[in-house]
Structure 1
Amino acid sequence: MSQTKKGLNTLCTHEGALEDTLFKGATSPLYMSSSYAFEDVDLKRYPRYFNTPNQEALGKKLAALEHAETAMIFGSGMAAISTALMAFLKAGDHVVFQQTLYGGTYNFAVTQLEKYGITYTFTEGWDVVDFEEVIQSNTKVIYLETPSNPLLTITDMKGVANLAKEKGIFTLIDNTFASPINQNPIDFGIDVVMHSATKYMGGHSDICAGVVASSKENMDRIYQTAICFGGSLSDYTVWLLERSIKTMALRVKAQNENALLMAKYLVSNPDVAAVNYPGLETHPEHELAKSQMKGFGGMLSFELKSEIDVSHFFRNLRLIKPSMSLAGLESTMISPAKTSHALMSPEDREKQGIKDSLVRFSLGIEELEDLIGDIEQAISETKSVSLPV
């Protein structure tokens, strides 16, 4: 759909804001009611119907940011993902999942879909041909994640979208790692965009939420499933999320800059075996990332060399937090094998290339030299201690 010429910071700050008609306050008023009138009203409002004033207003902001016609806010990223998938799938259908995938989505696929008579296939890779090779006659959905969690692989969105359209298949994408600041999949032909709004949209490690954005036709379909699954979000958290999104473009720009410089530093660090970041010219899909991303994101991952114990390294960090989740103002690290992808079997993690030595690094907005100093002292402390036999 056509968009206004407003800049990102303007959209983040003003789009979808509710007007305080009573007191003329500068911020959107918060409507906490869970009970609204049903007589003599144009719209019957109810929190589980995703149509309270704050829910509707934030949806307009998110739709504008993702170049979509409309958007809905959910209680978590997985609520958004599972609801969107089930809106387009039924018994007897088949779905293609990208091989490199967030562990929670992987777990949903392998533990839940067969209960509903839905079959699935994971691709061998993330090139367009890998998706084409596993499409079946009953395939209804292709599911992407780019950049992927935690290996930062890049998938050709336009190529997969064109393939899907030729075969009448819906495309769904997890756009969490990029954020709408760095990437807008709808511009490349993707049908439905999802986010864990807990991450860059919330941005302060204090909100849990999810987002789905698409055309009105697709969202009408998702809405019918959503009101049955009940994954709505409290209006107070919706209000907090709207407040946080006002600074998203500023935060993400700073995180992009830190991540690129950090990736270059880690490549030069003799104690690091490998670095995954699409902004590096050595990344296998660097040129593809340049063609479909406005910034390379604040996420990277790296492998420590085998003589450095990852758990000891985490314990020796003083500034960077070994903490779950990502995309906060503060820098965090995790072991995907122990957290985001712990529900996968060791064999499946190995197939994806997720080693025990892999560290996922979410860059915050701190000064780069402080972050580098923390990494260097943590490695030094870890190397100085004899590991137990």
Structure 2
Amino acid sequence: MKSRKLGINTICTHVGEIEDKQFKGAISPLYMSTSYAYENVEVKRYPRYFNTPNQEALCKKIAMLEKCEAALIFGSGMAAISTAMLAFLHKGDHVVLQQTLYGGTYNFVVEEFHKYGIEYSFAEGFSEADFSEKIQENTKVIFVETPSNPLMRITDLEMVSRLAKSRGIITMIDNTFASPVNQTPADFGIDIMIHSATKYMGGHSDILAGAVAASNEHIDKIWNLAKNLGGSLSDFTVWLLERSMKTMVLRVKAQSKNAKKIAKWLDKHPFVAKVYYPGLKTHPDYALAKKQMHGSTGMLSFEINQSLDVDEFLKSLNLIKPSMSLAGVESTILSPAKTSHALLPAEERKRQNINDGLLRFSVGIEETEDLIADMKGAFQKISKKDLV
């Protein structure tokens, strides 16, 4: 079977599966051993070296989905982000980062980099000039996240790649919100793709994992650090993740379709001040999203009117769960100011327009009519008005 001819659902279902030679089972067997022979073997396997049978198999699937040569699986998304960055950044180096990032990434940079003597700058916008003016002679990495968390801004990947390659700089992207289903950054020349595999790859709110995909050369460099930091993943979780990824395309497409319908409904609601969703024509990056994404995303954010109590709105929901994390088959909602971006200083949240009225909505696979009815009921309860 030639991999270049495989469709994305086929890749998710079959690539990287391990043949059950003993019992001929239809799914990959699980190898739980943490101790392997080292004499007279082709591969000296050790879990912390990311080379157990289940780890290797899953990495093949992720690499092919991201159109890369190789991949690594980590214990969390932040383990993937931190290891990838530190593999290419050393004392005296500099990194340029996108203006808006996941709060954990932002906190990692501002809290830890000074300890390693690594310099950093945040681009003040999303244009080529914004990134270019922050580049220094010692810049080694440009790190972006698109769609961004939580305001769904879209960064021009072709522009970032072109700019970086002209200066000999490595590019990294947090591709979590899009997933490989809706965006393949390698098509635009991005070097290293990073995921919180907890999210769309896992998809059921029961797996904690991270992933990095890149060329063999770049993965070798990341692995060389990763084996020392020890952020590997248990094989049982690896096996669960491989199972979950078989339905990733079906889930993500359904979630993205639902999110677009709900975004349109929220955009017309009298109690909603603003909706952030790249699939809406009113979104400032709509044209760019349409150009570089295969679909939109199952994520959206919206601000409710200041006259309404956000906490009461969340308490009034029955079907949609106010809950941490995202991208499960069930719909969840949260306040970024209290959760994902709580580690940001208040002034930084204000600068990024992450206010107390902003809610991030991870749309699940439920019927949109049921989700809309749930929000409609919550709005009616807190406003005491009968809205259509």
Map of 1:128 onto structure 2: 128
Q: What is the distance in 1 between the residues matched to 2:127 and 2:364? A: 31
Task: Give CA-to-partner distance per residue, 1:241-296, whole Å, 9 cap, x none.
Answer: 00000000000010010011011000110000000000001111111001100000
Q: Calculate the aligned-residue CA RMSD, in Å.
A: 1.0
The question of 1:150 aligning with 2:142 is answered no
Letter in 2 for 1:254: A
2:338 match = 338
1:3 offset after TM fit, Å? 5.4
Compute the displacement of 1:310 (Å): 0.7
Report 1:139-288 matches (<5 A): 139-288=139-288
Alignment map for 1:234-383 (pairs within 5 Å):
234-383=234-383
Q: Residue 36 of structure 1 corresponds to which residue in structure 2?
A: 36
> Tell me, what secondary structure is at the counterpart of 2:133?
helix
Partner residue in 2 for 1:26: 26
| Paired residue type of 1:152 | M
Q: Is the 8 A contact 1:100 1:126 kept in 2?
A: no
Aligned to 1:108: 108
SS of 1:58's equivalent in the other structure is helix
For residues 34 and 27 of structure 1, the distance between their equivalents in structure 2, rounded to whole angstroms, comes to 21
Aligned to 1:62: 62
- Name the CA distance, whole Å, in 2 between partners of 1:315 and 1:382: 10
Task: Check conservation: 1:172, 1:190, Cα contact below 8 A.
Answer: yes
CA distances 1:91-137 after superposition (whole Å, capped 9, x unpaired): 00000110110000000000000000001011111222211111011
| Partner in structure 2 of residue 75 of structure 1 | 75
Q: Could you say what secondary structure the match of 1:339 adopts? A: coil
Q: What amino acid is aligned across from residue 215 of structure 2 in structure 1?
A: S
CA distance in 2 between partners of 1:298 and 1:157 (Å):
20
**Whole-Å separation in 2 of the counterparts to 1:213 and 1:14:** 18
Q: Distance in 2 between matches of 1:52 and 1:337?
A: 39
Structure-2-length-normalised TM-score: 0.98
| Distance in 2 (alpha carbons) for counterparts of 1:97 and 1:356 | 25
Distance 1:206 1:82 in 2: 22
Q: Which secondary structure state, in structure 2, belongs to the residue aligned with residue 4 of structure 1?
A: helix
**Structure 2 Cα separation of the partners of residues 193 and 94 of structure 1:** 20
Measured in 2, the distance between the counterparts of 1:195 and 1:101 equals 13
1: CA distance between counterparts of 2:355 and 2:126?
19
| Secondary structure of the corresponding residue to residue 4 of structure 2 | coil
The residue number in structure 2 matching 1:97 is 97
2:211 aligned counterpart, secondary structure: strand
Contact 1:194 1:212 in 2 (8 A): yes
Give every structure 1 segment of 4 or more consecutive aligned residues whose post-TM-superposition deviation is greater than 4 Å.
Answer: none
* Matching residue's letter, 1:344: L
Say yes or no: does 1:8 pair with 2:12: no
What SS class does the counterpart of residue 19 from structure 2 fall into? coil
| Offset at residue 52 of structure 1 (A) | 0.1
Kindly state the Cα deviation for residue 384 of structure 1 after the two structures are TM-superposed: 3.2
Per-residue Cα deviation, 1:21-49 (whole angstroms, up to 9, x for no partner): 00000000000000000111111100000
Is contact 1:3–1:67 with CA below 8 Å preserved after alignment? no
Q: How far off its partner does 1:71 sit?
A: 0.4
SS at match of 1:328: coil
Which whole-Å deviations, capped at 9, do the CAs of 1:124-156 have from their partners, x for residues lacking one? Answer: 112222111110110000000000000000000
Give the AA of the match of 1:124.
E
Do the aligned residues in 2 keep the contact of 1:50 with 1:72 (CA within 8 Å)?
Answer: yes
Deviations 1:162-217 (A, max 9, x none): 00000000000000000000000011000000000000000000000000000000
- Which structure 2 residue ranges, 5 or more long, are not aligned? none
State the identity %: 65
> What amino acid does structure 2 have at the position aligned with 1:19?
E
Distance 2:374 2:183 in 1: 31
How far apart, in 1, do the equivalents of 2:128 and 2:343 lie? Answer: 27
CA distance in 1, matches of 2:34, 2:81: 25
Separation of aligned partners in 2, 1:59 and 1:106: 27
Structure-2 separation of matches of 1:80 and 1:164: 21
Report the Cα offset of residue 380 of structure 1: 1.3
Letter of the 2:178 counterpart: A
Q: How many residues align?
A: 384
Distance in 2 (alpha carbons) for counterparts of 1:228 and 1:312? 47
